[in-house]
Amino acid sequence: MIRLTDITGESIFINQEQVTSIRYGSATHSEVYITPDQFYCVRESPEEVARKVLEWKLEKDWHHASIIAEHTSDVASAKRKLIELAGLEEPNHAN
């Protein structure tokens, strides 16, 4: 999941695999669609949301490749990066 900011300023977590499209909703928010009729209004721009989705997918692929290749240091590094990208880098969430 990726952490975004809703229009009230609260953090929300969206499953990046469900994002089907992103568009500007207004000058103050973007709309992140998970179905043709269901979307979340977030403060991040469509470009920022797309970047977060892409970064997450690339890190996930790297993590899986590291596991297959049995590179334990790469696995730990990829896991830390996935936690950071998900917005779970706070100490009480890292475990």
pLDDT in tens, 10-67: 999 999 999 999 999 988 899 999 999 999 999 999 999 999 998 888 888 877 777 7
Q: What is the pairing mode between strands 30-33 and 39-42?
A: antiparallel
Q: What does the DSSP 8-state code read for residue 86?
A: T
Q: Say what the pLDDT of residue 11 is.
A: 96
Read off the pTM: 0.68
Element (H, E) at 84: helix 72-85
